[in-house]
Copies of this chain bind each other. A is one copy, B any other.
Amino acid sequence: MNEYDKLKAHVQKRLSITEDELIEFCNAFKIVKVKKRQFIVQPEFVAKNRFYVVQGTFRAYVIGDEGQEHTIQFAISDWWISDYNSYIFQQPASMFIVALEDSVILQISHEAESALKQQRHVFETFFRILAEGTAAYMARRVITNLTKTAEQRYEIFLERYPDIVTKVPQYALASFLGMTTEYLSKLRNRRVSSKT
């Protein structure tokens, strides 16, 4: 199974599409290998691409006024990531997106994506589905962040994204869940000891 097969499977799972269309779709993507700690999006620079993670782990974060890092999103294998405010409107980014380990991604440029969307109805549909998913996900995040306690947020995340928990460093997860790394460390210990 090569890089494109994964993307194909991903697309097919979401809508009905012919083999030819799939190939056309994949041709718009470029395989890129990135090393751990390498940035694929940086503030000030326009995010020219949208990324599909074939292998590896990424973290998107912004830097607050006092220099604190706030993790906005993670992405592991089979996820999409970019600074959408930058990508969609082609404005300078405000995020960093960095590889947490050596990774392989498929990237599509903004122009290529626009072309696809115009070319065929299915492509338009696919990106719509993608956008709706992202919107819904972000909405859920906002809600959980406002309504749940730190511990609950951790629990929920743990249940929903067990794969991610094992792959990202704890400070990144803490800043994603909106708590300090010390507190997350304590939460974890509390759970472990209460289990045994």
Residues of A within 8 A of B (CB): 33, 35, 37-40, 42, 44-46, 63, 67
Contacts and interface: CB of A to CB of B under 8 A. Distances in A.
Nearest to A40: B44
Closest CB pairs A-B (n = 7): A45-B45, A39-B42, A42-B45, A38-B42, A39-B39, A37-B37, A42-B42
A41 to B, nearest CB: 10
Contacts of A40: 44
A94 to B, nearest CB: 13
A33 B44 CA distance: 12
Among A37, A40, A45, chain B packs the most CB atoms within 10 A around the CB of A45
A140 B110 CA distance: 42
Contacts of A33: 67
A183 to B, nearest CB: 24
A119 to B, nearest CB: 25
Contacts of A42: 38-39, 42, 45
A189 B35 CA distance: 32
A40 B33 CA distance: 20
Nearest to A46: B45
Contacts of A38: 42
Given A35-B63, A39-B42, 9 more contacts: A33-B67, A37-B37, A38-B42, A39-B39, A40-B44, A42-B42, A42-B45, A45-B45, A45-B46
A38 B38 CA distance: 10
A101 to B, nearest CB: 14
A194 B35 CA distance: 40
A29 to B, nearest CB: 15
A93 to B, nearest CB: 11
